[in-house]
Structure 1
């Protein structure tokens, strides 16, 4: 398929110099003046020039390969998403290249460039928690690369996305705690720049408002990395309060696990003293003591839907070079109730 790839000739034409001069300037050749090197490199960056002679010679053909960027492969949720992507991709005759940003914006940028240079037909991306600017994505979209975002999405009207209903999932989790008789429910909040964090906070607040329970910002604790360590530290701070919480709703399961550690180390019982609910339903949450109540996300289905959207976009563009209308798929969550939240002893 065709990409809008900027060439050395384009840069040369824009600056009124020869392609060979541009080539040598990009290679920092000593015969080229500093002024010319500066002009060439600045224009190359502005035009999103990607030097890759081998790839350029092959741009006209499809590779039947999808590139995937996820924050963490070890994350159980993302591993199920990958399974869903592969299920659809392989059935449709596509191979899959998987990269992980390791929650780093720099790595995410590097992964996008690597996948582009590998001539993937399109990319499936879930943003890192550091990603708050999107120039690197816009630059790649401008080259005509089909992209579909999943879970942690770039909210652009030009690309399709697949998300779970985080707001409803968080609301259901909080209402469950209220039904158990909890009235002082703390929230461990995730990375502030991610849409999923905002949706889960909003769902928590909606549940409190509907139940006429005041929203207390003092017991909304920031866990920007969403780790076990942060969950534990935030909960230790909550437990030092004169009027400690009787329940905790965490933005993800690792933070909830950290909360459980802190509660146990303080000599308190779960859920009798403090109930705990997580989000994402990591498989080992059921192995904790007590087993962790959590909001289940349909990761496999998310991967399937994302792959279907991307392949459809690739096929339409390859056939007549037209752009399909972007779609947003909203998938439902499911609250898995276990012993960590059952104060009343019933589901």
Structure 2
């Protein structure tokens, strides 16, 4: 096996000092352009590999930021990652992305792997069955910042970036009440997940505010509310007596799927059943009628979470990470035809 080429080998070959080689390879302004070119050429010809790892060990930085997402096949997570990537690239950081696939066991394994890879910081959206957070303790001990986004942890050691899910769900449900709906069903993901638990609360509060009794049977909770779940949900809705006249569904792909299956059963949207979704995903604008939804600013969430992370890593004074534990972004109701009973 060939031994690694060092800066000393290049220096000897060109008859210059090792310091000059080192400076040239680090693009130091003190080295003349002509010399730099000669050194780069020799390094390339001799097969020199710069030891970024050794340099990183000296500076105790890898310039890698870990991101753990529950699932990559989500438009929302994709737009969050795009926002993160833009900010990270601009600041010279790389993203190391892994997915927990909604499993806390996999999340724990991912976290361990990120820690062993010496990431400078970690951004996490929690898995749906994540109940304990001890796997983040090694990060806190070493002073490695952890920021949660969307699905956040109530922990004093970490910052969370989210929207006010209680308020957003309250607005969505209230809109259906204002359209004349008296029997509103709510379709939710696992309430172990902070966002779904909060949306259920917002739904309940809206009913209480308008003196509408809360009925357990009008709430359908599934571990995974996605496109595939639509048929199953509609079967359950069709067995309710009387039928609901409004549906508040906690995600757009599921709302679109439910709408298609309801239409197959001869239910008119919004005349018989008004529908409100959540997230403002592309699908909400592509179906007929277009779906009223809560705009969830994923790209902005990615940018804000990453800016906080980088401010913290660069030790920028007044970094929000040191001042607050929760950053709340604005969300809004986008009203379209699927909910408009009152034209």
Which TM-score applies when normalising by structure 2?
0.79
1:344 aligns with 2:342: yes
Match of 1:334 among 317, 332, 335: 332
Q: Which moved more, 1:128-137 or 1:296-305?
A: 128-137
CA distance in 2, matches of 1:126, 1:59: 31
CA distance in 1, matches of 2:323, 2:164: 22
In structure 2, the partner of 1:159 is 158
Deviations 1:287-306 (A, max 9, x none): 01221111111111111111
CA distance in 1, matches of 2:167, 2:221: 21
**Could you say what the CA RMSD is over the residues aligned between the two structures, in angstroms?**
2.1
CA distance in 1, matches of 2:264, 2:211: 32
How far is 1:141 from its partner? Answer: 2.7
CA distance in 1, matches of 2:270, 2:264: 14
CA distance in 2, matches of 1:295, 1:203: 13
- For the structure 1 residues 142 and 305, does the alpha-carbon distance in structure 2 shift closer, same or farther, using more than 3 Å as the test? same
CA distance in 2, matches of 1:207, 1:265: 30
CA distance in 1, matches of 2:112, 2:219: 38
CA distance in 2, matches of 1:238, 1:284: 22
CA distance in 1, matches of 2:192, 2:137: 18
- 8 Å contact from structure 1 (residues 293, 338) kept in 2: yes
CA distance in 1, matches of 2:87, 2:334: 27
In structure 1, the partner of 2:15 is none
- 8 Å contact from structure 1 (residues 250, 277) kept in 2: yes
CA distance in 2, matches of 1:167, 1:213: 18
- 8 Å contact from structure 1 (residues 232, 255) kept in 2: no
- Mark the runs of 5 or more structure 1 residues left unpaired by the alignment: 1-53
SS of alignment partner, residue 291 of structure 1:
coil
CA distance in 2, matches of 1:246, 1:232: 18
SS of alignment partner, residue 243 of structure 1:
coil
How far is 1:261 from its partner? Answer: 2.9
In structure 2, the partner of 1:189 is 188
The number of aligned residues is 287
How far is 1:325 from its partner? Answer: 4.0
- 8 Å contact from structure 1 (residues 293, 335) kept in 2: yes
CA distance in 2, matches of 1:226, 1:181: 26
- 8 Å contact from structure 1 (residues 222, 234) kept in 2: no
Deviations 1:70-103 (A, max 9, x none): 1122211111111111121122221212222222
- For the structure 1 residues 95 and 117, does the alpha-carbon distance in structure 2 shift closer, same or farther, using more than 3 Å as the test? same
Which TM-score applies when normalising by structure 1?
0.78
- 8 Å contact from structure 1 (residues 316, 324) kept in 2: no
1:115 aligns with 2:114: yes
- 8 Å contact from structure 2 (residues 120, 313) kept in 1: yes
Deviations 1:37-82 (A, max 9, x none): xxxxxxxxxxxxxxxxx99x93752122211111122211111111
CA distance in 1, matches of 2:105, 2:234: 31
- 8 Å contact from structure 1 (residues 233, 262) kept in 2: no
- 8 Å contact from structure 1 (residues 159, 326) kept in 2: no
How far is 1:171 from its partner? Answer: 0.9
- For the structure 1 residues 72 and 61, does the alpha-carbon distance in structure 2 shift closer, same or farther, using more than 3 Å as the test? same
In structure 2, the partner of 1:44 is none
- 8 Å contact from structure 1 (residues 271, 343) kept in 2: yes
Alignment of 1:1-347 (within 5 A): 58=57, 61-316=60-315, 324-345=322-343
- Which structure has the greater CA radius of gyration? 2
How far is 1:315 from its partner? Answer: 2.2
- 8 Å contact from structure 1 (residues 169, 200) kept in 2: yes
CA distance in 2, matches of 1:181, 1:312: 48
Deviations 1:83-139 (A, max 9, x none): 111121122221212222222222212221222222210011101112122221234
